[in-house]
A and B are shown apart, each in its own frame.
Chain A
Amino acid sequence: MAEKVEAIQGLKSQDRSIADEVQQAVREKKPLTIRRIITNEYFLNIVSMIAFLLVWHYAAASGAFSGALCTPWQVVEQFRNLMTDTLAGLTIWGHIWASTQRIFIGFVLASLVAIPLGLFMALNPYVDAIVKPVFDIFKPMPPIAWISIAILWFGIGEPSKIFIIVIGTFVPCLLNAYNGIRLIDPEMYDVIKVLGGRRRNEIIQVSFPASFPAIFAGLQISLSSAWTCVLAAELVASRSGLGFIIVQGMKISDTSMVIGGMIIIAIVAWLTSLLVMGLEKLLCPWKRGIGDL
């Protein structure tokens, strides 16, 4: 193997074909014209961001929205206020923590139950036959529809919010764990059989590792669903959390607070999804996503 690699590398440095040289020449020859600068992707990124902020600023300043939109600068100032002032007894960090804590608890609870259950269902036809039909009844109900019943059951405290997050994260977790095992290439099991393994080996050495990527995809979906759920729950009734900031902004007709809250939500949601992605890289390093396409 190593010799082969060396041989190929050697070929590259010494016996370059004419075709390579021509290609290289073409690549080097491209002159730096204005057209190339303008159509450069990163340049366009910056242009579009600046254009967006400018349009936003002038739309807000012109009064076309009659006060229902603030300028970007007001949002920045609002950030500074939120950093120092307290809202309903909590600083901005307290609100961020309140939301992430809910998500974390609900997320862990749901995945601890849903993933093993999904794996069980995929591996055992009897468990599948018992759980699947009941699960199919609950599956199409949007988790947000559960908010009302959660409030009837648990009141408007923490438990009802965590309940909704559990409901919202449960379905994608279970579905992906289930499909992750069902969609494994059957040839992989054949390898175990040829090597003389038993069903136990099949499950531990093929089913579990091969379903990991699907499970993590499910966790990512769950996470975004969890954010939707926690926001909805906080919008309906709460005294803390990022959803509360938005509602508060709405009540006092302060758009800068609403938009500031939305931006914070976007950042925190993005950070949590990075966390799950990092965990995935750690636990299944063999997976190559389509992200780098």
Chain B
Amino acid sequence: MAYEAVKVKKPLTLILLPIISVLTFFLVWELIVEFDVVPKTMLAAPTQVGDRFIDKLSDPNPDGGTMAAHAWVSAQEAFLGYLLSLGIGLPLGLFMGWFSVVRGVARPLFELVRPIPPIAWIPLTIFWFGIGLWGKVFIIFLGGVVPCVINSFVGVRMTNPTLIQMSRTCGASDWQIFTHLCVPSALPMVFGALQIALACCWTNLVGAELLAADQGLGYMITMGRRLALPELVVLGMVSVGLAGALIGMVIETVERRLLSGIRR
């Protein structure tokens, strides 16, 4: 390393400022609602959101499901869609990177699907799968598969050509080069894809549930709007955000563990 890490002590203001700013944010939010700067039908105070959360833990009213039920449905959809997109996207991208035949066949189809936002598939999905679990899984899959393919494809294409030539010289077959050289050297990009795909899946989960659902966190948000209960909307948004951040953190830790031996 060219630069040695130098520990600089942070000034006290820099430690305090973030805490102050978050506190001010919540305080202003609370006060805005408290003093009716905006109508109560448009925004709920943080304390109301907290109350609603405690209610929702046990009470399925007014939207027909407890917090746990909604979260479980959403998690199921997101997990299935995510796994599907990894299971199909990563191998496809890796193969497309190395084998020109796969690239020739799959590329035009992929380029056809890529620019269409997954949300645009919702009407077709409703025609095909109805509004059940698999329709949403399909949309989430479409959202996650694109970054998976792109990242693993680029990862393979970025393999050091010198190493490929050396393997050829030493008599490695195409398949051996692929499994022993290209795939390992694409791993950092593949793990990047895990994160990006997760974010895409999570966004599309909300999109899919906004339009076609009868349970799930996104559905809770929609019901909050229909019933004009802003605290329900905000609660849904916060729980989606929190869950997304948590899963992201888990993946990041796993990634760091697994890749600790690979230089990036």
Contact = CB atoms under 8 A, between A and B. Distances in A.
Q: Is the interface of A mostly helix, strand, loop or mixed?
A: helix
Contacts of B122: 235, 246
Given A147-B210, A235-B119, A250-B126, A290 B154 contact: yes
Contacts of A228: 117-119, 203-204, 207
Chain B residues touching A, range = 35 or more
Interface in A146-186: 146-149, 151-153, 186
A34 interface: no
Contacts of A143: 203
B132 interface: no
B119 A231 contact: yes
Nearest to A247: B123
B131 interface: no
Contacts of B116: 262, 265-266, 269
Given A48-B108, A250-B126, A145 B21 contact: no
A266 B145 CA distance: 17
A141 B238 CA distance: 7
Nearest to B20: A130
A145 B206 contact: yes
Contacts, number: 185
B5 interface: no
Contacts of B37: none
B63 to A, nearest CB: 12
B157 to A, nearest CB: 5
A149 B122 CA distance: 21
Interface stretch (B53-61, B80-88, B218-226, B252-260): B218-226
A286 interface: no
B163 interface: no
Given A49-B108, A148-B225, A235-B119, A255 B127 contact: yes
Q: Which of A125, A131, A141, A235 has the most chain B CB atoms inside 10 A of its CB?
A: A141
Given A265-B117, A265-B120, A269-B117, A148 B224 contact: yes
B167 to A, nearest CB: 19
Given A129-B14, A132-B18, A133-B18, A293 B105 contact: no
A40 B104 contact: yes
Interface string B124-157: 1011100000000000000000000000001001
Interface in A96-139: 125-126, 129-134, 137-139
A232 B154 contact: no
A41 interface: yes
Interface stretch (B65-73, B174-182, B228-236): B228-236
A148 B224 CA distance: 8
Q: Considering the complex of A and B, which 5 residue pairs feature the smallest CB-CB distances, nearest first?
A: A44-B104, A250-B123, A129-B17, A141-B241, A148-B225
Given A141-B237, A144-B204, 17 more contacts: A39-B104, A41-B103, A42-B104, A44-B101, A48-B108, A126-B13, A129-B14, A138-B241, A139-B245, A140-B248, A152-B233, A228-B207, A235-B211, A265-B115, A265-B117, A269-B116, A290-B158
